[in-house]
């Protein structure tokens, strides 16, 4: 009876927690983002402390690096990528005209494909409309901001809140972890601590290692595409690096998108060879050096599980769910591994 009551309590607790997370997701998003930054930065602080640097100074140094990185992302990468995306969209009508005058006749004469199957005029009109909308996006955004003081307040609050919360979490991370451990019932504390350490290994291996790999691949792809002269090099390179959290997905997406962009820009199938060389070189560096050194085989998360977790989290909770997806998936993997070990040792398995 007592066991059933405990199970009922935990089921109600989990259901209530999920419901509360769903309702408060927009409010909790900056706090979760700050917690992820603090989680990534805490090992660096611990290493600095091992070198006889006071924690307050170590927190200041790591916090400064994080803030500089975020500022570079906001002030440099995002605007340049947005500019390249706008330019790419505005050139789509030109690409459609080239396809209509060059590719369609070849398809008709060589493969016997009827050009009327491609509704290019309608597609061109839509592309022109989208290009105009993108051109007016900045002005429309400013008008929306002026018209809604709530949006401005929320945006400013999040911008200020994330670094403030990150700083305090970095400063008190070890204290918070120790406090949570002290609150655990003594009977389950060793088990929970062991599971938490295993989860930390899985989450840390993925987040810290894979994020560095993603950033490095994004930089390598962007530089390589810029060398071959592709207009949207930064946009496509960073996109390929971003989705490379799933092994080989960045390679597939990058070659597909960059190949189409190169074909439309250079009007030559030889450009595809240069694109494949760029992504092939990046993948070789990742497979032979970056992934083994920074991530290794400690992740324990299957690529399909990673993709499913991110998509499910985004569908259920939006951006909050995307941030929460991988840590939750890592914890579930550890719990399943623990349950599997218990099953293999049980009479049910051996009987």
Residue for token digits 């450009």? Answer: 271
**Has this prediction a pTM greater than 0.75?**
no
- Count CA atoms within 13 Å of residue 144 on its CB side: 8
Residue 337 has pLDDT above 60, yes or no: yes
Instruction: Summarize pLDDT for 100-143 with one digit per residue, the tens.
Output: 677 667 666 676 666 655 555 565 666 566 555 555 544 444 45
Q: Over the stretch 291-302, which tens digit does the pLDDT of each residue have? A: 777 765 555 567
pLDDT of residue 117: 56
Q: What is the pLDDT of residue 220?
A: 93
| C-alpha dihedral sign at 174, 176, 179, 185 | negative
Is 60 exceeded by the pLDDT of residue 88? yes
Tens of pLDDT, residue by residue over 253-276, are 899 989 888 888 888 888 889 999
Residues 300, 304, 307, 308, Cα dihedral to 10°? -100
The vertex-208 CA angle with 32 and 318, nearest 5°, equals 35
Q: What angle do CA 74, 33, 161 make, to 5 degrees?
A: 75
Number of H helices and E strands in the chain, helices first, is 16, 0
44 falls in which pLDDT band (50, 70, 90)? Answer: confident
- Indicate the domain borders of the chain: 25-183, 187-343
> In this predicted structure, what is the pLDDT of residue 12?
83
Above 60 in pLDDT, residue 144? no
pLDDT for 255 equals 92
pLDDT (0 to 100) of residue 119: 58
Cα–Cα nearest to 245, from 279, 277, 286: 286
Phi, psi of 200 (to 5 degrees): -65, -40
User: pLDDT tens-digit profile of 189-214?
Assistant: 888 888 888 888 777 767 777 788 88
- Determine the pLDDT at residue 291: 75
Would you state the pLDDT for residue 221? 94
pLDDT digits (tens, 9 = 90+) for 158-178: 677 888 889 989 888 888 888
pLDDT at 138: 47
Q: Are 271 and 262 in contact (CB under 8 A)?
A: yes
**Per-residue pLDDT, 274:** 92
Q: CA torsion 190→192→197→201, rounded to 10°?
A: 150
**148-177 burial, b for 16+ CB within 10 Å, e for fewer?**
eeeeeeeeeeeeeebbebbbebbbebeeee
- What is the per-residue pLDDT for 145? 47
pLDDT at residue 351, rounded to an integer: 61
| Average pLDDT rounded to a whole number, residues 223-242 | 90
Distance CA 291, CA 153 (A): 41
């Amino acid at each position: 009876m007592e066991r059933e009551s405990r199970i009922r309590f935990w089921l109600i607790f989990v259901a209530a927690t999920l419901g509360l997370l769903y309702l408060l997701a927009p409010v909790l998003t900056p706090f979760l983002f700050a917690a992820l930054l603090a989680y990534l930065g805490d090992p660096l602080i611990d290493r600095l402390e091992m070198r006889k640097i006071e924690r307050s100074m170590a927190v200041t140094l790591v916090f400064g690096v994080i803030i500089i990185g975020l500022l570079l992302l906001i002030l440099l990468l995002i605007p340049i990528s947005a500019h390249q995306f706008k330019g790419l969209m505005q050139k789509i009508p030109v690409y459609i005209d080239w396809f209509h005058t060059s590719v369609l006749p070849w398809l008709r004469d060589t493969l016997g494909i009827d050009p009327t199957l491609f509704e290019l005029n309608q597609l061109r009109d839509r592309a022109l409309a989208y290009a105009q909308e993108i051109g007016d996006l900045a002005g429309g955004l400013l008008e929306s901001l002026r018209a809604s003081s709530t949006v401005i307040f929320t945006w400013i609050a999040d911008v200020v809140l994330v670094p403030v919360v990150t700083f305090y979490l970095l400063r008190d991370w070890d204290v918070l972890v120790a406090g949570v451990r002290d609150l655990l019932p003594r009977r389950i504390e060793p088990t929970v601590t062991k599971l938490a350490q295993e989860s930390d290994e899985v989450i840390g291996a993925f987040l810290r290692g894979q994020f560095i790999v993603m950033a490095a691949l994004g930089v390598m792809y962007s530089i390589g595409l810029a060398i071959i002269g592709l207009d949207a090099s930064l946009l496509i390179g960073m996109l390929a690096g971003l989705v490379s959290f799933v092994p080989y997905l960045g390679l597939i997406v990058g070659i597909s998108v960059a190949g189409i962009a190169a074909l439309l820009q250079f009007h030559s199938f030889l450009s595809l060879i240069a694109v494949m060389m760029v992504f092939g070189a990046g993948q070789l560096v990742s497979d032979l050096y970056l992934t083994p050194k920074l991530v290794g085989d400690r992740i324990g998360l299957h690529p399909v599980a990673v993709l499913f977790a991110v998509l499910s989290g985004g569908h259920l909770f939006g951006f909050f769910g995307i941030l929460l997806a991988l840590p939750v998936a890592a914890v579930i993997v550890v719990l399943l591994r623990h349950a599997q070990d218990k099953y293999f040792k049980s009479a049910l398995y051996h009987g």
